[in-house]
Amino acid sequence: MNKFVLVTGGAGYIGSHTVVALQQKGYTPIIADDFRNANEVVLKGLTQILGATPILHRIDVCDAAALNQLFEQYNFEGVIHFAAYKAVGESVEKPLAYYQNNLVGLINVLSMLEKHDVRNFVFSSSCTVYGEPKGEKEVSESTPKQAPESPYGFTKWMGEQIITDFHKSSAKSKLMNLRYFNPVGAHASALIGEYPIGKPNNLLPFVTQTAIGKHAHLTVFGDDYPTRDGSCIRDYIHVTDLAEAHVAALEFLAKAENGLLEAVNIGTGTGSSVLEIVAAFEKVTGKALPHQIGPRRAGDVVEIYANASKGQELLGWKARLTIEDAIRDAWAWENYLAASAQQ
């Protein structure tokens, strides 16, 4: 019997890798994506990896009627909800669009769980809910949440609050907030990866685009922070590991007899500085990466990395891949994109 899993935003960066991980574990992923922030290149790559066109419904999760139809069509084992806007800077420019899309989408999906008695739900949350950690830079799930820096961050923070209140009203629901640290890398085949629209804001896509010649240099946003080399520190997690964490979360929820709500950090447990990423890129690819030190970027957290022990204890999941793996795969994907553009 098919085990259908709804993956909203399943044509996006993390969503597409999760679709692959689900199929590998014998699930039938059903993608709901309106392609406003996804690309046909990824769909083509996904089709090649899966060996068949994925089941795709081009719908907007803010369209409650369309979503309802989907829940009538399939008997979902669970839902993994990615569909949301994710650019921090853009969220400052367009806060209403972020609150509207990210929160209405979430509310619609939760309403469908209730209406159609689907119990298992995984939410795409972020370490942004911890804000700038006070004192200890390694954060665990019990580290108090703090106000994030951006409307984007608040949509994740508020999303978790909505889920908490939903759980109180729906004791049978089994809900998990996965708090991602910094997703990087691409599928080992280099057929899917992150497809930044416009100039990327995130570090690794900017690094690979610079190395391929799209930008003259990378600007390192600040080298005067109180860290080991003065640049900011993050916990970079390979997207394939991250995708597998979703499947582990779903399996955990499916097995649980009673309702529950948990938050789990998805990181490696190790931080890397921006300058360490530059050095690692040069080492892995053998290419010099032009870079300059620039001013600090407003709103940047200085240093944060995951205490990743709960993921292992609760889900039996831990990161397998290294930052070098992620750099190698992101670089292969950048080269694949360049080759596809020339065809």
| Residues with a known catalytic role | 152
218 is a site residue for ligand UD1 (CB under 6 A) = yes
Binding segment (CB under 6 A) for ligand UD1, from list 102-110, 239-247, 294-302, 314-322: 294-302
Nearer to ligand UD1, 190 or 207 (CB): 207
Stretch 173-192: interaction string toward ligand UD1, x if CB under 6 A: ---------x----------
206 is a site residue for ligand UD1 (CB under 6 A) = yes
Nearer to ligand UD1, 274 or 323 (CB): 274
Secondary structure (3-state) at 97: helix
Q: What are phi and psi of 77, to 5 degrees?
A: -75, -30
117 in Cβ contact with 71 (< 8 Å): no
The residue within the footprint of ligand UD1, chosen from 23, 124, 128, 268 (CB under 6 A), is 128
Nearer to ligand UD1, 57 or 234 (CB): 234
Q: Smallest distance from the beta carbon of 201 to ligand UD1, in angstroms?
A: 5
C-alpha span between 281 and 285 (Å, rounded): 6
Tell me the site size for ligand UD1, rule CB under 6 A: 23
149 is a site residue for ligand UD1 (CB under 6 A) = yes
Q: Smallest distance from the beta carbon of 87 to ligand UD1, in angstroms?
A: 7
Secondary structure (3-state) at 50: helix
Stretch 76-115: interaction string toward ligand UD1, x if CB under 6 A: ----------x-x---------------------------
Binding segment (CB under 6 A) for ligand UD1, from list 6-14, 114-122, 159-167, 214-222: 214-222
203 is a site residue for ligand UD1 (CB under 6 A) = yes
Strands 28-32 and 260-266: unpaired
Residue 219 belongs to what H/E stretch?
strand 218-221
306 is a site residue for ligand UD1 (CB under 6 A) = no
C-alpha span between 167 and 179 (Å, rounded): 18
Residue 251, classified by CB atoms within 10 Å of its CB into exposed (0-12), middle (13-18) or buried (19+), is: middle
Residue among 288, 265, 280 nearest 330 (CA) = 280
252 CA to centre of own chain: 19
Residue 208, classified by CB atoms within 10 Å of its CB into exposed (0-12), middle (13-18) or buried (19+), is: buried
Binding segment (CB under 6 A) for ligand UD1, from list 17-25, 56-64, 218-226, 316-324: 218-226
Pair of tokens at residue 75: 């008997």
> For the CA atoms of 332, 333, 337, 340, what is the dihedral angle to 10 degrees?
70
146 is a site residue for ligand UD1 (CB under 6 A) = no
88 in Cβ contact with 152 (< 8 Å): yes
C-alpha span between 182 and 195 (Å, rounded): 16
202 is a site residue for ligand UD1 (CB under 6 A) = yes
Kindly write down the DSSP assignment for every residue of 24-40, as one continuous string: HTT-EEEEE---SS--H
234 is a site residue for ligand UD1 (CB under 6 A) = yes
Q: Smallest distance from the beta carbon of 20 to ligand UD1, in angstroms?
A: 21
201 is a site residue for ligand UD1 (CB under 6 A) = yes
Nearer to ligand UD1, 74 or 221 (CB): 221
C-alpha span between 120 and 282 (Å, rounded): 42
153 is a site residue for ligand UD1 (CB under 6 A) = yes
150 is a site residue for ligand UD1 (CB under 6 A) = yes
Q: Smallest distance from the beta carbon of 311 to ligand UD1, in angstroms?
A: 17
315 is a site residue for ligand UD1 (CB under 6 A) = no
C-alpha span between 40 and 55 (Å, rounded): 14
For ligand UD1, the binding residues (CB under 6 A) are 86, 88, 126, 128, 149-150, 153, 182, 201-203, 206, 218-221, 232, 234, 274, 297, 299-301
